[in-house]
């Protein structure tokens, strides 16, 4: 496995002939990231993982400075997952000066996480576009936990004609049901127990969507599915376990709220803070 910045990447890339898969990360790697690398390994001849904490996607009051950077442990995880090149550029190499020209994430980037974190998705798409240009991959694998990010990268790949296959990997969960996230490190054991209301809410929604409730006779309607999740979250909010940022059932293609008669692919999106830690999760649904 090689590790390097832009020059080393370019030299390595020029020597490679096979299909290259890219897994973009900000480090603090966990088994969810390793699952992305394993998928890239299965689909491509060579795997590049980028480790770069991108300041452009952090707001002023966010955790850019304290974001975990366990670089040595991250390299071990990449090695374990069979990565060929770890692209770990220095900050000054990626942004010699504050970029004037950026990717704009548009309407889909201004809602949900984008509303709570103005500018976040412009920052994400700008760095992802730079990574696509630098690594020049044939395919890229993103986790579906950050579903709004995935939808926006998909849109950018189409709108800006990146000739890259985009693969989404379903949310990887710990045994207790919590979606894996680098930010889970910030949770104390009691925060973590309180955060489990989020996967429980998604389970309740899934049950109603399947029509698995005692009195249910078929699949639940969009409003019923959303209400089932909201009931679990509202209880948690009343107990003071978490602060809800949003919970919404949206059309997968547009991230617009599902109407009562919606038919097609939908996403139930949840975001909350638990003990000051910002968590997101989602459930894909078919109506």
Would you tell me which residues interact with ligand PAF (CB under 6 A)? 24-26, 54, 57, 124, 127-128, 146, 149
With 0-12 / 13-18 / 19 or more C-beta atoms within 10 angstroms meaning exposed / middle / buried, residue 119 is middle
Q: Which is nearer to ligand PAF, 34 or 149 (CB)?
A: 149
Q: Pull the structure tokens for residue 271.
A: 């975001």
Q: With b meaning 16 or more CB within 10 Å and e meaning fewer, what string describes 10-35?
A: eebbeeeeeebbbbbbbbbbbebbbb
Minimum distance of ligand PAF from residue 8's CB (angstroms): 19
Minimum distance of ligand PAF from residue 57's CB (angstroms): 6
Minimum distance of ligand PAF from residue 25's CB (angstroms): 5
Q: Which residues contact 80 (CB under 8 A, 6 or more apart)?
A: 34
Q: Which is nearer to ligand PAF, 36 or 258 (CB)?
A: 36
Q: Pull the structure tokens for residue 211.
A: 């029509």
Annotated catalytic residue 33 = yes
Minimum distance of ligand PAF from residue 262's CB (angstroms): 28
Dihedral angle of Cα 110, 117, 56, 31, to the nearest 10 degrees: -100
Q: Which is nearer to ligand PAF, 26 or 171 (CB)?
A: 26
Strand ranges (DSSP E) for 172-220? Answer: none
Q: With b meaning 16 or more CB within 10 Å and e meaning fewer, what string describes 251-276?
A: beeebeebeeebeeebbbbbbbebbe
Candidate list 30, 33, 120, 278, residue with the active-site label: 33
Q: Which residues contact 76 (CB under 8 A, 6 or more apart)?
A: none
Q: Which is nearer to ligand PAF, 54 or 248 (CB)?
A: 54
- Give the span between the Cα atoms of 168 and 88, in whole angstroms: 23
Minimum distance of ligand PAF from residue 245's CB (angstroms): 18
DSSP string across 65-90: TTS---HHHHHHHHHHTT-SEEE---
Q: Which is nearer to ligand PAF, 23 or 225 (CB)?
A: 23
- Give the span between the Cα atoms of 107 and 266, in whole angstroms: 18
Tell me which residues are annotated as active site.
33
């Amino acid at each position: 496995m090689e590790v390097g910045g832009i020059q080393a990447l370019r030299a390595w890339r020029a020597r490679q002939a096979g299909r290259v898969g890219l897994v973009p990360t900000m480090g603090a790697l966990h088994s969810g990231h390793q699952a992305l690398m394993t998928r890239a390994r299965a689909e491509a001849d060579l795997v590049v993982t980028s480790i770069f904490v991108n300041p452009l996607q952090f707001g002023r009051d966010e955790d850019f400075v304290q974001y975990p950077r366990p670089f040595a442990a991250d390299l071990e995880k990449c090695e374990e997952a069979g990565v060929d090149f770890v692209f770990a550029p220095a900050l000054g190499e990626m942004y010699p000066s504050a970029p004037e020209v950026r990717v704009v994430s548009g309407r889909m980037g201004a809602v949900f996480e984008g509303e709570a974190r103005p500018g976040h998705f412009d920052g994400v798409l700008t760095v992802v576009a730079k990574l696509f240009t630098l690594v020049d991959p044939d395919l890229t694998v993103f986790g579906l936990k950050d579903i709004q990010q995935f939808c926006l990268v998909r849109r950018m790949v189409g709108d800006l004609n990146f000739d890259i296959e985009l693969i989404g990997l379903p949310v990887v969960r710990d045994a207790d049901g919590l979606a894996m996230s680098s930010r889970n490190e910030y949770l104390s054991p009691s925060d973590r127990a309180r955060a489990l209301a989020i996967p429980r809410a998604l389970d309740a929604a899934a049950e109603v969507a399947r029509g698995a409730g005692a009195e249910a006779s078929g699949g639940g309607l969009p409003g019923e599915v959303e209400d089932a999740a909201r009931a679990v979250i509202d209880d948690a909010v009343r107990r003071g376990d978490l602060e809800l940022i949003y919970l919404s059932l949206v059309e997968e293609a547009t991230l617009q709220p599902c109407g009562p008669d919606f038919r097609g692919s939908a996403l139930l999106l949840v975001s909350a803070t638990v003990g000051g830690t910002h968590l997101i999760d989602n459930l894909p649904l078919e109506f």
